[in-house]
Structure formats: structure tokens, C-alpha cells
Structure 1
Amino acid sequence: MPRLRLTRPALAALALSFATPAVLAQDTPDGRWHGGLSLAGAFASGNSSSRTLAANADASAATADDKISLYGVANYGRNKVGGVTSTTANLLRLGGRYDFNLGPQWFSFGAAEGETNKAGGVRDRYNLTGGVGYHLVKNDTHSWDVFGGLGYTATHFTDGNTANGVQVLLGEESSHKLSETTTLKQRFVYYPDGGELGDRATFDAGLATTISGGWTLNVGLASRYADRVPVGTKKTDNLLTVGFGYKF
């Protein structure tokens, strides 16, 4: 891996949400950390009681040569009806990615991610990926990248089964400054059938609007598809979230 020209403090990015990062980290190439935190929650009591807590953190530091991105997402939900309590969501995902510019248009990347999502049938999953990408569009208002590479995934399901192996990844991502206060970001990644891993795909989209100072209103849409899941678990998860946040 090429040596970084800047010494950067380690930044822990922890969040609670099942969906896409709704707070969008800036890509200003000044070597400083930019990002934010979004929080949302719901609580109910009466004939039934429930509580849901969601948050999301996203941060990146970029220079003219490279970029480090960190993120963390999680979601917790609990429901009680007729004296029976059940956990409806308990996701935790942490990850990071390093991009190094090979030229004006081409870049290489390496990434690592770990997650647990027992409500979705995943006890734990670890993923290491690497590859190359190309900047189709890159200016102060819009950016659009395509990328591809290889990754190794190790998954332990809640039913005791495992799925490990090498898998190709193909994807695209873009960010758009719609106005002085509103930014849109989306990302799609497809993992073709990798033997026991099966097909997987993820789509994330997030909209952040500044409402006052550094405070933002965030809307996120996330979709996850996995071809091979434990019996009784759906292959597709979709979630729309709305929350408030703060960016730095």
C-alpha cells in the first residue's frame, strides 16, 4: 500500500441504522476529516410496546493523492406484545476503505468490513475487498465512479451454516450537490454467484439537507439482497429512514 503523506488521527465511526449512510462525508481534498452523525428513534407503549434506535456515522479525509473513508451503521429494535418480547433488529456494521489515485481518472482501493445481523440470519460476516475504479465524472458539483475487483467473504449464519470464499464485485457510486444545502449520494454493488456464497447485491441512497448551521435532515433508502440465507429468512431487506443529524 502506498505511504500516506499525511498523518491522520484514528477516527472511530459508530452508528445505529439498518440503512444507508444518511450523513454524507465531504470529499474536499484538504487532508482534514469531514463527515457527520445522524440519529433517529421511536418509542411506543400501551397495548403493545416497542422501541427502535437508529443512527449513522460517516467520515472521510481526502488529499489530492488518496482518501480514507470510515463508517459504522447499526440498528436496534425491540417489540413486546401480550407479554412476549422479541428483538426485531440488531444490526452492527463497521468498515473502512482506502483509495489511492493512479492518475486523473483511475484509482485503486482496498476495503474491510465486519457485521452482525442476527435478525437477518447473519451471526457474523467479514469481508476484505480490493480493486480498481474509474472516475467517469468528477467536478465540484457531481461525481460518478465505476469500480470492480475481488473480495474474500467469511460468513457464519444463525442456523450454524457457513459460507466462505472469493467473490467478484462490480459497482458504481455517485454524489450530487443539488443545491447549496442539499446533497444526494447513491451506491450499488453486485457480487456475482461465488459458489457457496451465492449472489449478493446492495443499494444505498442518502439525501442530506442542511436546516440550520451544521444540523441536517437526512433521508436514507437501503436494499440488501442475498441469494443464500437461513431457512425462514427473506432474501431481500428494504428500509426507508428519516432522521436528524449534525455534520462537521
Structure 2
Amino acid sequence: MPRLTLALAAFALTVASQTTQAQDTPDGKWHGGLSVSGALASGNSSSKTLAANADASLATAEDKLSLYGIANYGRNKNAGVDTTTADLLRVGGRYDFNLGPQWFSFGGAEGETNKAGGVRDRYSLNGGLGYHLVKDDATNWDIFSGLGYTATRLTDGSEANGAQVLFGEESSHKVSETTTLKQRLVYYPGGGDLGNRATFDAGLATQILGGWTLNAGLASRYSSRVPVGTKKTDNLFTVGFGYKF
């Protein structure tokens, strides 16, 4: 990924967090959070942007079900010309089953559309094995690897389907009583038309009153195969308010 993306990732790892400590509690109840941010401008030119992200999980001593979604919409009007600057929607989920104190198996699915980024639609199914490197009250850190199937249609009309390996790591850290840190990095080396992909996510949620939080987040996506004239890397940095449950 370009140096800017790596710098943003390092910055996010240093200062970003999300309220994930409660989400990993194996109490058999749903825990999660929702954050929303946006902007509206008018005058010689007008623009509007809206970003939202949500995640929820249900964990027991034997397994965990995780659901997530991210949306980003942006539109700009200048000299009477309307331009869509962002229209990202990504939803997915993963089921983990503990094979012992350290090892676990998983299966996941994800769907995405990002026409401004060159992706008309992308669907993927995957499964594999993971390992808990650290798992205590303050830190959870996992590594995982697996194999999946990806089907992609780009905005230039081309398609790419096939099997794809994945390698990843994710962690959450309790920084203080009101702030925790979460990050996730996944790399998809692909052959042929699929190309290589990488995703990085991090976020910040600091509790301010009751379940209400102040949030900042970073979502970075890299793809080696994009339509002509489209950048290979997309970065979304957001600041807004949220609620955790």
C-alpha cells in the first residue's frame, strides 16, 4: 500500500480505539455500537457527506458471532453539475468456534458495493483457522488464515471470480476505563484477474456520557486491479458521535 496509507494506519493504531471490550464478553448477550458522522455545505458550491459504521457480536465460552457494516455517501454540486464522490456500502459477518483455549475455526461472508472506487459489487465467502496470541481482560489479539471464494464486478464491465487465500490479524486493547483500541488488517493475495487486495480498519470511541461515545475511525482499502482512471487505494477517516450497547 502507498506510504500515506501506511502512515494513516500507524496513526490509527496509536490513537484510535473502539468500545470492543464489552463486545468480547462471553455472556451470551449482544454487544456492539453505532457511530455516525457527516457534513453539509452550501454556497457557490454545495456538498453533503454521511458516514456510518456499526458492529455487534454475541459471544459465549464456545463461540462468537460478529456482524458489521460501513457506509459512506458523498455528493458535490458545482456550477450546476452533480457529482457522486462516495457511495460505499459494505456488510458482513463471521462465526468463530473455539477448538480449544488458543485455536478456533471461522467462517465468514461479505458483500460490498463502491462504484466511486470502481467496484460495482463484490461478494466473498471464506473459512479457516485462527489462533489467540493474547487473550486477557485488557488485550485480545488473534491471527488467522483461510481460503475463500470471491466474485467481483467492476464498473468498467469486467468480472473476476475465483478462490482466494486470506491472511489477517486483529486486536482490541483496553487503554483506560472509558477507551479501548481495535484494529484489523487482512491481506488477500490473488492470482489472475482477482489481483491483490488488502483492508485495514481501526476506530476510536471514548465514552462521554452513559452509552454515548465520541468516535473517530479509519477504513483503508487497497486493490491492485481497478478500472482505468481509478486509484488503487481508498481511505475514509471519520469523526462523529456514537452509541454502544
DSSP-derived class of the 1:119 partner: helix
CA distance in 2, matches of 1:148, 1:63: 22
- What is the rounded CA distance, in whole Å, between the counterparts of 1:201 and 1:231 in structure 2? 19
| Structure-1-length-normalised TM-score | 0.90
Give the letter for the 1:193 counterpart. G
Q: Which of these residues, 135, 138, 142, is aligned with residue 141 of structure 1? A: 138
Secondary structure of 1:195 counterpart? coil
Counterpart position of 1:56: 53
Higher relative contact order (CA 8 A, sep 6+): 2
Mark the runs of 5 or more structure 1 residues left unpaired by the alignment: 1-20
Indicate yes or no: 2:202 matched with 1:187: no
Q: Which residue matches 1:86?
A: 83
Question: How many angstroms does 1:228 deviate by?
Answer: 0.4
Instruction: Report deviation, 1:22.
Output: 7.3
The alpha-carbon deviation at position 242 of structure 1 amounts to 0.7
1:161 corresponding residue in structure 2: 158
Identity of aligned residues (%): 79
Return the TM-score normalized by structure 2: 0.91
Give the aligned residue type for 1:42: A
Equivalent-residue separation in structure 2 for 1:100 and 1:247 (angstroms): 25
Q: Cα gap change, 1:241/1:22 in structure 2, threshold over 3 Å: closer, same or farther? A: farther
Superposed, which structure 2 residues align to 1:59-70 within 5 Å?
A: 59-70=56-67
* SS at structure 1 position matched to 2:89: strand
Alignment-mate amino acid for residue 78 of structure 2: V
**Is 1:42–1:51's contact at 8 Å kept on the other side of the alignment?**
yes
Q: Which is helix-richer, 1 or 2?
A: 2
- The answer to whether 1:174 aligns with 2:174 is no
**2:125 is the alignment partner of 1:128:** yes
Distance 2:47 2:90 in 1: 23
Aligned residues of 2:63 and 2:98 also touching (Cα < 8 A): yes
Q: How does 1:1-248 map to 2 (within 5 A)?
A: 24-25=19-20, 26-248=23-245
Q: Secondary structure at the match of 2:24?
A: coil
Compute the RMSD of aligned alpha carbons.
1.2
Unaligned runs of 5+ in 2: 1-15
Amino acid in the other structure paired with 1:200:
R
